[in-house]
Amino acid sequence: MLAHLSEFISYLRGERGLSPHTLEAYQRDILAFGDNDLTQENLCEYLAHMQKQGYAPASMARALIACKVFHRFLVRENYLPHSSLNLDSPKLWRLLPDVLTCQEVDHLLAAPDPTTETGARDKAILEVLYASGLRVSELCGLTIHSVDHQSVRVLGKGNKERIVPIGSKALQAIDYYLLHFRTHQQDQHLFLSVKGHAMNRVAVWRQVKIYAKKSGIKKNIYPHALRHAFATHLLENGAELRVIQDMLGHASIATTDRYTHVNMQQVQVAFRKFHPKNNG
């Protein structure tokens, strides 16, 4: 299987136009899977191993998507026979850790102390991550001019700009932080460290971990978990997948589609619990 990996990466680069970062991630994921048969059993073992190693759900989902696209390429090029292998089965997607519930998000957002500069900044960071579903790199790149009264202007992957709605609570948190603690700094970045430099991914990651522990959440929480919750909660409340795709800045609907798998798990739970013909 790995004998065709370089050909696959060349195909993605030439025909799909994926970024070098994405190509590198796909190649790394497939190499980590190894020269094993692309069976559901092997994929389950692969994802279970990633889960034990503490990988984020987004990384696990990307690895599964990489294997899925690679399998499709191998079949199309006649390197593998056509098969009925279901790489979208609930068995595989159940291995991805649970998304944050609305209550857990509330606890996380309430964890920072807004009476301090760090707490006010971190309160605004958490609110923005959940309100607009930004990647942590996008959040770190925001300036004080990126936000208006109803949206945030984001520079995403491939330097593609998009405009994403932002909620009133996030705006209130940003305004509080700027008005009380950002009156003298000259740096135009929206979120600054205590030394006055732009926040970076590592610093945001560290602060999210601190507040997750403080709020008593047992799940493996990291900045992308709030982006994941943003998309899943929108889907649960009736938002169309294409709309979510635009807000997340996904080039392909297939990337956004993984949230339908997460949501279907919750649908099945609700069905088993509440449907009158499904209870003894």
**Which of 58, 93, 128 finishes a domain?**
93
pLDDT digits (tens, 9 = 90+) for 195-219: 889 999 999 999 999 999 999 988 8
pLDDT digits (tens, 9 = 90+) for 35-84: 888 887 888 888 888 877 877 767 887 888 888 888 888 888 888 887 65
**Which of 39, 60, 93 finishes a domain?**
93
For residue 233, the enclosing domain spans 102-263
Q: Is residue 273 part of a domain?
A: no
Instruction: Give percent of the chain above pLDDT 90.
Output: 31
Q: How far apart are CA 161 and CA 12, in angstroms?
A: 23
Structure tokens at 194: 């205590």
Mean pLDDT, residues 222-235: 82
pLDDT digits (tens, 9 = 90+) for 15-35: 766 778 888 989 999 999 988
Mean pLDDT, residues 161-177: 91
Q: Are residues 113 and 83 in the same domain?
A: no
Q: Are residues 190 and 111 in the same domain?
A: yes
Q: If you average pLDDT over each of 55-59, 86-90, 125-129, 147-151, which comes out highest?
A: 125-129
Query: What is the reported pLDDT for 115?
Result: 95
Q: Are residues 73 and 190 in the same domain?
A: no
**Which of 93, 114, 134 finishes a domain?**
93
How far from 68 is each of 5, 27, 230, 280, CA to CA, in Å?
A: 13, 13, 25, 39
How many structural domains are present in the chain?
2
Q: Is residue 147 part of a domain?
A: yes
Q: Are residues 18 and 89 in the same domain?
A: yes
Query: What is the reported pLDDT for 126?
Result: 97
Q: Are residues 206 and 223 in the same domain?
A: yes
Q: Are residues 81 and 42 in the same domain?
A: yes
Q: Are residues 117 and 220 in the same domain?
A: yes
Q: Are residues 220 and 169 in the same domain?
A: yes
Instruction: Give percent of the chain above pLDDT 70.
Output: 81
Q: Is residue 70 part of a domain?
A: yes
More confident residue, 5 or 51: 5
Mean pLDDT, residues 10-18: 79
Q: Are residues 122 and 252 in the same domain?
A: yes
Average pLDDT, the chain: 81
Q: Which residues are known to be catalytic?
A: 135, 157, 224, 227, 250, 259
CATH code, domain with 78: 1.10.150.130
Q: Is residue 271 part of a domain?
A: no
pTM (predicted TM-score): 0.62
Mean pLDDT, residues 138-146: 93
Q: What confidence category does residue 275 fall into, taking pLDDT thresholds of 50, 70 and 90?
A: very low
Mean pLDDT, residues 237-250: 74
Helix H, strand E, coil C: the string for the chain is CHHHHHHHHHHHHHHHCCCHHHHHHHHHHHHHHCCCCCCHHHHHHHHHHHHHCCCCHHHHHHHHHHHHHHHHHHHHCCCCCCCCCCCCCHHHHCCCCCCCCHHHHHHHHCCCCCCCHHHHHHHHHHHHHHHHCCCHHHHHCCECCCECCCEEEEECHHHCEEEEECCHHHHHHHHHHHHHHCCCCCCCECCECCCCCECCHHHHHHHHHHHHHHCCCCCCCCHHHHHHHHHHHHHHCCCCHHHHHHHHCCCCHHHHCHHHHHHHHHHHHHHHHHCHHHCC
Q: Are residues 73 and 127 in the same domain?
A: no
